[in-house]
């Protein structure tokens, strides 16, 4: 059945991928456990309201059941609400026509005398005064509401939504045209989630702790759920695992920096206390390990349901890997740590370039896991992209070898550029340097931005 | 460090042929309750090296696991067995101690429940 989905007008690229990921999690595409070699075929059908631009918050989506719609709405960060549409139109006369012709068997069950209801008025692109809102509500006398009104906790919540073309975005044409919708609420978002988990009040933070909203989006892309095991190879303060744990997944994390995972800032301010703060189950384990030389036993594979992480890009924080810089470059010959110093020796680490990090990550994923891209604007000059990859076939020696070869080719072409710290400087250098790298500069075609990006 | 973790780790020092399973040196074991999830246990069971788990649990002071791995059908039907599996896998913690490479004897310390698996420069 077709439903009206209203998104929050922000993080536009993330909306549909999150929605589709949750749709899959809640069974919209059939049996969850079936191994689908073509995940791209699992896509929902979407339609836009008349004269609306794809960036509009209003979309029609086809879902197999109301229960799935409600589950998606409740868990999503970006869906404001999902509604069964009773009517729409360009003006109130058209709306009335539409609602009157909507089948009775879809309406009457929700208008019964034993039920309670309320009507909420919402507008996008214009402001409606309280008086105007009340007038609109009174205008619905043609709908045979038999139940009592309950403004606090009604059985059924009906929404009147007006959209209009007053919103301007960077001088671009408006995202919506005038359209009026009336529908029955099927599910709404739990926006209490973000205030509860926001970093402002987080017990233990690090410089690259993941923003709560994005962490939840990542957990939704990863379909974190009870019974699943989720791994973060760059766990840091655990900000990403916290969101996965909130949705019931078992979590595991590793970091090369032992001070972050083991010590934190003290006995009450560390990764564990972050989980305690929210009453979440602790991670199954945290370990100090190098993602470049992971400590997994050979033959171990397909253990994690998801790997969710924010790898060190070398921009705000650089990655490290085992093996001193001088050692790896051959400036210093291989050396042995004297026996009496071995216990407390802190191994030197070398710069862990982004491509090597990504290669190791992909190898980890290919091996250990039983794909949407969305862009987050981080500043006016650069942004980062959330990549979701879905594993489609098993890990074999051939796959590993092919990947290694491709990686070495890529390394030859890009090594010099990345090693010279150019990623960091191209992000932070003064704004004249737009020439040169297509890697960093964004498209010149203007894009619509959500209000709070 | 729980035994689920121990079951996944090995000593990957250069020159070591088989670094699994790591021998456990116990200094402090703590039991922490974890909510049981039967689906999780059934999903993870095929990935577990049973002998390593069974031996490790004995070293940690828990003797209820059979030495031979159970038939998968046991996991479906026997809730009591699942309880024991859950306890060994997730509720026994090595807070302080070490993991030893079975070939070289090299110690990977475990402090505050966190194993330090970082290799030294000459082990790489």
- The per-residue pLDDT for range B54-91, each reduced to its tens digit, is 999 999 999 999 999 998 888 888 899 999 999 999 99
DSSP per residue over A17-36, as a string?
A: HHHHHHHHHTTTTS-TTS--
Q: pTM value?
A: 0.81
- Indicate the class that CATH gives domain A196-420: alpha beta
8 A C-beta contact, residue A10 and residue A78: yes
Kindly determine whether residue B43 and residue A256, on different chains, have CB atoms separated by under 8 Å: no
Chain A CB contacts of B44 under 8 Å are 229, 303
Report CA-CA distances (Å) from A147 to A84, A119, A137, A155, B120.
Answer: 19, 12, 15, 10, 73
Kindly determine whether residue A286 and residue B114, on different chains, have CB atoms separated by under 8 Å: yes
8 A C-beta contact, residue A213 and residue A78: no
Q: Which residue in B has a C-alpha nearest to residue A342's C-alpha?
A: B120
Strands (E), A371-417: 373-377, 383-387
Instruction: Indicate the angle between helix axes A354-368 and A397-419, nearest 10 degrees.
Output: 160
Chain A CB contacts of B16 under 8 Å are none
Q: Cα separation of B119 and A256, whole Å?
A: 11
Least CB-CB distance to A287: which of B44, B115, B124? Answer: B115
Mean pLDDT of chain A: 78
8 A C-beta contact, residue A77 and residue A213: yes
Average the pLDDT over A179-207 and give the result. Answer: 91
**C-alpha triplet A243, A153, A87: angle, nearest 5°:** 90
Q: Cα separation of A419 and A426, whole Å?
A: 13
pLDDT score at A364: 76
Q: Cα separation of A62 and A80, whole Å?
A: 17
Gap from B95 CA to chain A (nearest CA, Å): 11
Residue (of A80, A61, A60, A59) closest to A23 by Cα position: A61
For chain B, domains (ranges, CATH) are 3-116 (2.20.25.10)
DSSP per residue over A31-100, as a string?
A: -TTS--S-GGG----EEPPTT--TTSSEEEEE-S-HHHHHHHHHH-SSEEEEEEEEEEESSHHHHHHHHH
Reported as a single tens digit per residue, the pLDDT across A241-280 is 999 999 999 999 999 888 888 888 888 889 999 999 999 9
For chain A, domain boundaries? 2-30+41-190, 196-420
Same fold, A2-30+41-190 and A196-420: no
Reported as a single tens digit per residue, the pLDDT across A141-172 is 888 888 899 999 999 999 999 988 765 555 55
Cis peptide before B21 (omega within 30 of 0): yes
H or E stretch covering B27? strand B23-31
Kindly determine whether residue B40 and residue A258, on different chains, have CB atoms separated by under 8 Å: no
Q: Cα separation of B16 and B1, whole Å?
A: 23
Among the residue ranges A159-163, A378-382, B25-29, the one predicted with the least confidence is A378-382
Kindly determine whether residue B124 and residue A293, on different chains, have CB atoms separated by under 8 Å: yes
User: Between A and B, how many residue pairs show a Cβ–Cβ distance under 8 A?
Assistant: 107
- Top-confidence range, A5-9, A260-264, A337-341: A5-9
Rounded to a whole number of angstroms, the CA Rg of chain B reads: 15
CB atoms within 10 A of CB A91: 10
Q: Is A44 on the interface with B (CB under 8 A)?
A: no
Q: When comparing pLDDT for A177 and A231, which is higher?
A: A231
- Indicate the class that CATH gives domain A2-30+41-190: alpha beta
Q: Is A235 on the interface with B (CB under 8 A)?
A: no
Residue A453 above 90 pLDDT?
no
Residue B42 tokens read as 């059934």
Q: Which residue in B has a C-alpha nearest to residue A230's C-alpha?
A: B40
Contacts of A377 by beta carbon, 8 Å cutoff, 6+ apart: A383, A449, A453
Average the pLDDT over A325-352 and give the result. Answer: 59
Gap from B93 CA to chain A (nearest CA, Å): 10
Residue A424 tokens read as 């960091």
Q: Cα separation of B16 and B20, whole Å?
A: 10
> How far is C-alpha A196 from the chain's CA centre?
17
ipTM score of complex? 0.91
Contacts of A213 by beta carbon, 8 Å cutoff, 6+ apart: A11, A77, A194
Chain A CB contacts of B109 under 8 Å are 343
Strands A58-62 and A156-163: unpaired
Chain B CB contacts of A281 under 8 Å are 34-35
């Amino acid at each position: 059945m077709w439903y009206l989905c209203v998104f929050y007008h922000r993080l536009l690229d993330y909306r549909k991928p999150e929605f589709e990921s949750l749709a899959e999690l809640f069974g919209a595409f059939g049996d969850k456990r079936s191994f689908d070699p073509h995940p791209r075929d699992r896509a929902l059908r979407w339609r836009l309201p008349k004269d609306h631009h794809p960036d509009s918050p209003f979309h029609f989506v086809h879902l197999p059941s109301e229960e799935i719609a409600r589950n998606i709405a409740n868990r999503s960060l970006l869906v404001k609400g999902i509604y069964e549409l009773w009517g729409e139109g360009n003006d109130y006369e058209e709306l009335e026509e539409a609602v009157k012709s909507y089948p009775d068997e879809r309406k009457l069950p929700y208008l019964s005398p034993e039920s309670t209801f309320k009507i909420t008025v919402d507008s996008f692109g214009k402001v409606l005064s309280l008086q105007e809102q009340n007038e609109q509500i009174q205008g619905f006398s043609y709908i045979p509401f038999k139940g009592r009104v309950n403004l606090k906790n009604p059985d059924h919540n009906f929404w009147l939504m007006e959209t209009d073309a007053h919103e301007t975005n960077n001088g671009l044409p408006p995202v919506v045209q005038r359209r009026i919708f009336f529908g029955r609420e099927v599910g709404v978002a739990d926006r209490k989630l973000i205030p509860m988990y926001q970093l402002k009040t987080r017990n233990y933070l690090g410089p690259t702790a993941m923003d709560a909203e994005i962490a939840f989006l990542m957990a939704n892309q990863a379909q974190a759920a009870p019974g699943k095991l989720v791994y973060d190879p760059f766990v840091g303060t655990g900000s990403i695992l916290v969101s996965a744990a909130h949705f019931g997944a078992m979590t595991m994390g590793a970091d090369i920096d032992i001070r972050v995972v083991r010590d934190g800032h003290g006995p009450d301010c560390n990764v564990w206390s972050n989980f305690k703060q929210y009453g979440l189950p602790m991670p199954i384990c945290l370990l100090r390990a190098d993602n470049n030389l992971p400590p997994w036993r050979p033959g171990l594979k397909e253990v994690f349901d998801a790997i969710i992480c924010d790898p060190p890009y070398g921009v705000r924080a650089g990655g490290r890997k085992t093996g001193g810089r001088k050692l790896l470059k051959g400036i210093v010959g291989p050396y042995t740590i004297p026996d009496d110093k071995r216990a407390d020796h802190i191994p030197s680490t070398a710069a862990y370039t982004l491509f090597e990090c990504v290669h190791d990550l992909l190898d980890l994923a290919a091996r250990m896991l039983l794909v949407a891209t969305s862009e987050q604007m981080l500043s006016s000059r650069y942004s980062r992209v959330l990549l979701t990859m879905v594993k489609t076939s098993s890990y074999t020696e051939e796959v590993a070898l092919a990947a290694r070869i491709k990686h070495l080719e890529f390394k030859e072409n890009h090594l010099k550029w990345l090693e010279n710290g150019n990623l960091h400087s191209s992000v932070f250098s003064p704004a004249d340097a737009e020439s040169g790298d297509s890697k960093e500069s964004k498209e010149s075609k203007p894009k619509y931005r959500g209000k709070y990006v | 460090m729980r035994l689920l973790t121990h079951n996944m780790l090995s000593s990957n020092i250069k020159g070591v042929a088989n670094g699994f399973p790591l021998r456990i040196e116990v200094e402090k074991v703590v039991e922490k309750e974890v909510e049981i999830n039967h689906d999780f246990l059934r999903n993870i069971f095929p990935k577990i090296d049973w002998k390593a788990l069974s031996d490790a649990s004995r070293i940690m002071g828990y003797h209820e696991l059979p030495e031979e791995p159970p038939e998968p059908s046991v996991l479906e039907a026997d809730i009591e067995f699942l309880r024991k599996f859950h306890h060994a896998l997730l509720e026994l913690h090595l807070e302080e101690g070490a993991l030893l490479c079975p070939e070289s004897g090299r110690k990977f310390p475990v402090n505050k429940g966190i194993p330090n698996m970082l290799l030294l420069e000459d082990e790489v």
